[in-house]
Amino acid sequence: MTMPVIFINCFEVPAGREDDFVAFWSEVNRYMRGKPGFVYNRLHRATTPDARFRFINYVQWNTEEHWRAAHDDGFRALLQKPHWRDFPPSTGAIFDIVCEFGEEAKAA
Amino acid sequence: MTMPVIFINCFEVPAGREDDFVAFWSEVNRYMRGKPGFVYNRLHRATTPDARFRFINYVQWNTEEHWRAAHDDGFRALLQKPHWRDFPPSTGAIFDIVCEFGEEAKAA
């Protein structure tokens, strides 16, 4: 079995715009999770007050090609909505796991 | 049951110093995983050529207090080793999970 690839995206969200960001992200996420090859995702919100990235999204895709193909015209149209254009760019990239230690605790 | 907190740390590693970074990170990781409250971690390496962060570390700690207490004199001494002082600062912060969708695929 081939392991999915991991896409990690870090967002610098201006103070006071956290709820806007979650609304935006939720809209994009609903779109992406309907695409072929989408496996799993988890959105993290910083509790550290001075964190550089307020939100980090962690996503599994079956292959890098699936991830690339999902960034289609429909996706680009979502990003062009006027209220999203002024968000700073994010850092999204594809990753492999190079080291793992211990056993992850999962929510019940 | 209280869920562990998540610590995510993104590293801007200069090109050509990836192996140095992994050696450094492994030394710090060996130290940290012996500390009370350490649960789990996973180190990611970017496969995207122009990724801003070459490495991202994803760690679970039982509580934020455990995580804070682990950054003790022994930890600081590791960071002061001469070959590590010139690495750019990383972005480490504590996060909650605010949204999760799908089922994560795990390595066999």
- Tell me the backbone φ, ψ of residue B67, rounded to 5 degrees: -60, -45
B85: left (phi over 0), alpha (psi -120 to 50) or beta: alpha
Q: Which amino acid is at B61?
A: W
CB pairs under 8 A between A and B: 147
Output the six-digit token pair for B19. Answer: 């192996």
pLDDT tens digits, A27-82: 999 999 999 999 999 999 999 989 999 999 999 999 999 999 999 999 999 888 87
**pLDDT for A90:** 85
Tell me the Cα Rg of chain A: 15
CA B75 – CA A48 distance, rounded (Å): 20
pLDDT-derived band of residue A89, with 50, 70 and 90 as boundaries? Answer: confident
CA A101 – CA A78 distance, rounded (Å): 38
pLDDT-derived band of residue A108, with 50, 70 and 90 as boundaries? Answer: low
CA-based nearest residue in chain A for residue B26: A99
Local structure of residue B64 (DSSP, 8 states): H
Q: Do A1 and B95 touch (CB under 8 A)?
A: no
**Under-70 pLDDT residues of chain B:** 1, 107-108
Q: Do A43 and B96 touch (CB under 8 A)?
A: no
Calculate mean pLDDT across residues A84-104.
86
From A17's Cα to the closest Cα of chain B, the distance in A is 16
Give pTM, 2 decimals: 0.92
- Tell me the backbone φ, ψ of residue B50, rounded to 5 degrees: -100, 25
Q: Residue A90's CB: how many other CB atoms inside 10 A?
A: 17
Output the six-digit token pair for A104. Answer: 């992850």
